[in-house]
Each structure stands twice: as structure tokens, then as C-alpha cells.
Amino acid sequence: MAADEKMDFSAATLAPDEEAPVDIELCVSLVSGKSFRLSRPGTETVGQLKQVAAEHFGLSGEEVRILQDGKAVPDFSTLTSLHGTSVNLVALSPGSIAAVVESRVVIASGSTLRIQSQYLPQLDYSKTTRRSPYHVEWSPTDAAHLALRSQNMAWIHDLFQGKEVFTRACRGGRNAFKWCPDGNKLALVAGPTQVDVCVLNPLSDFRLEQRSETLSVAWHPAGSHLAVAQRDGIAIFDIELRAEEKILLLGSRVELVDWHSEGHLLACGDATGALRILTLEGEARWQLQQCNAALQMGLQDNLACIAWCPNQTLIAFCSCSGTAVQLFDAESGKLIWKSADLSYFMDLSWNYDGTKVAGACQDGYVYVFDVKTGETVGSFNTGRANSLSWSMA
């Protein structure tokens, strides 16, 4: 929509005895900084204004907030109190999906699967090399904070303020970057054998030295421990003591690691292409191994991504050369479903209540699957996305 476009909704809705309409200018935070005006009855509430604005952008009423001077305006306030002021419409919610597409960030509504913002100018890194992101992750506690990772840098972008609020030089693998569940710390691989834990408030950091090459990290749900995927197993670090507590030797290179939301299980993908479910003592609960015939023929297929459901013992995964998402139940040991073959998957992310899982495909689409059936319930075209994240905050 063009900036300052006039949209007069009052003619069809005002009765003769109603108060005259007032002009409300909305600065839309996620539509390239543009603004538009609504002419609405002065007696209308902010809650009603949110519904009108949300409908205009294809969002549900719960997915927008009205901010004035950085503070949320109560839904019961009347528009007369906002007359002559400029307020922000923030289209963020637990239903927002962020995806990295060719060094840009795209944000879509998880409920309507409609793109809310087409390449935000402040999140377009296509003309840089040092800040070309390949990984994105929402803060678990603040829907305005997006953490991004490039080959040389990690940073946090605040969508409300429209600027970066944290930067850090680093280098490492694609999965070597994770928010702590408390939303106040980031763990990232800063070098081949180095993991840095960055505390955001108050700003500080410390380093966890590793015994071998470090490939991936995952937080305990309480934020008390950090699992680090290494060349020969998984190291568990005590964050308070800043020291290695134990090492789970697995006899092969671990490339992916993820911690279950209840803290009692770890999932990992190793160099043989196996998906392993482990207890914290290193006991193998389950292992999905490729068949010997495939391995002997040199058809070894590593896992591209793994992701625990936020509130069940379900883990979604896909292989590097596979074209389907699979769902495994770590409680029963059964494969629940395998999706239809679509394209090579680059990344997976669950929604906040564990009812859907989204996958970014090389064919340029993000597909959303129903957790009960494995059926595709929707998709949207972003262009080829390297990474995606479904907001939890």
C-alpha cells in the first residue's frame, strides 16, 4: 500500500448521532515502514481498530498490537484519545514465521500463511558479504527480537526499534547458534573448538573451551546446561560452573543435537545418518539407522535437520537427500507419519503449541504440516529459504 493512502471507512458505518470521524495515522512496523490513515468514529475502541487493521492486512485480531510511544494502548481506549497522534501497528504474534531467503528476511502469518512483509529494507543484506545471513531464530520470550547468523557474524535485530541491538563476530556451522529458553542468553560457536555464551542483560559473555571440533549446540529447557555436538559425542556443560559436566561418547561424529522440552532426552544426528534418542546418561532409547545395504553402496544420507515438538515426545526430521518430513514418537518408538514427497528440505520449525510443523524447501515454498495426520495444511512461496523459525513468544 502506498504511504499515506487515505481510506475512509466512516460513510457506511456512522449513524447521524455518532461522533464525527477522526483521522488515525498508523505506522506499520512490518510493511517497509510505510504508513496509512484510517478515518474512524471517535467513539470506536482501539480493539475495534485492531480488527479493522488486521483484516486489511490479512491477519487475525489477536496478531496485532497498537503502540503509542513504545507502550501498548489498551483495547478499551477510544480513538478520540489518539486523535492527532501517530501510533504503531505491530503485526507480530506467536503465529509469525520468519525465513531467510537469499540474504533477506521474510515474515509471514502462521495462521493465514500470508506474507506480512516482503523483504524489509532494514533486513535486506543482499548487498553485503559480512552480514549475509543463513540462519534465523526468534527469541523465545520477545516476539520483536530476531537473532541472525552469517558465516562471520551473529546479531539481534529489534523489529520494534528497527535496528540491531546486539552484534558479535564469530564463525562456525549452520546449527551452531541457539537462544537460551530464558531469552537473555545466546550460545554460539565462535571457532572450531570454542563456544561463547553471550548474556544480553547485563551485557557480558564467557567462553566454553571444547575438546574437539564443535558442530551444534542445544540448551536444556531450564537454561542450566548446554549440549555441544562434537567429533566423537555430546559434551554437557554446566552453565553456572562454566565447565564440562560429562561427555556422552557415541563413537561417531555428531552433527546435530536438540534437547527435549522436558529435559530428560537428547536427540542427535550423527555422521552415519542415524537419528539417535538418548537419555542424559548416554543410554540409547531409540536409534533409526540406515540399512546396511545402503551404507555398503555408498548411499549414506546425513540428516539435514531435527526438531523436537515443544510439548510432546515427537521429533520431526528429514535427510539431506530426502524429499519428505518424517515424525517419530520417542515415547512409543514408532514412526508416526511420513509426508508426501515434495522437495529437499532445508530447515524445520514447530509452532508454539505443537500442532503444526513447518518445513523450508528448495522448491521455494514453506510447507506447513498437521501434526496428527502429516497432511500439508498450507504453504506459501518465499523463494528458496535456507532457514526458518516459528515464533514462540
In angstroms, the CA 351 to CA 97 distance is 9
For strand 21-28 and strand 86-90, is the pairing parallel, antiparallel, or unpaired?
parallel
The answer to whether the beta carbons of residues 63 and 29 sit under 8 Å apart is no
Q: Mean pLDDT throughout 47-59? A: 73
- Domain ranges for the chain: 5-90, 96-390
**Residue percentage of the chain with pLDDT more than 90:** 43
Tell me, what's the pLDDT at 345? Answer: 92
> pTM of the full predicted structure?
0.78
Query: Across 39-43, 153-157, 190-194, which has the greatest mean pLDDT?
Result: 153-157
Percentage of the chain surpassing pLDDT 70?
78
pLDDT of residue 28: 53
Pick from 337, 326, 392, 387: which is nearest to 362 by CA? 387
Q: Does the fold of domain 96-390 match that of domain 5-90? A: no
Provide the pLDDT for residue 10.
Answer: 34
Q: How many CB atoms are closer than 10 A to CB 128? A: 12
Binned at pLDDT 50, 70 and 90, residue 128 comes out as: confident
Q: What CATH class is the domain 5-90?
A: alpha beta
Which superfamily does CATH assign the domain made up of 96-390 to? YVTN repeat-like/Quinoprotein amine dehydrogenase (2.130.10.10)
- DSSP conformation class of 19: P
pLDDT for the residue 27: 57
Q: What share of residues in the chain are helix, strand, coil (percent, to 5)? A: 5, 50, 45
Q: What is the pLDDT of residues 232-288, one digit of tens each?
A: 999 999 999 999 999 999 988 999 999 999 999 999 998 888 899 999 999 999 988
Helices (H), the chain: 46-56, 292-296
**Antiparallel, parallel or unpaired: β 71-72 and 86-90:** unpaired
Higher pLDDT, residue 150 or 223: 223
Confidence at residue 32, expressed as pLDDT on a 0 to 100 scale: 35
Q: Is the dihedral of CA 192, 288, 267, 369 positive or negative?
A: positive
What is the arithmetic mean of pLDDT over 283-294?
72
**Is the per-residue pLDDT at 389 higher than 80?**
yes
Q: Is the pLDDT reported for residue 54 higher than 80?
A: no
Residues 186, 365, 343: CA angle, nearest 5 degrees = 100
pLDDT-wise least confident of 114-118, 172-176, 177-181, 359-363: 172-176
Q: Can you tell me the mean pLDDT for 158-173?
A: 80
- Which one is predicted more confidently, 15 or 25? 25
Q: Residue 14: enclosing H or E segment and its boundaries? A: none
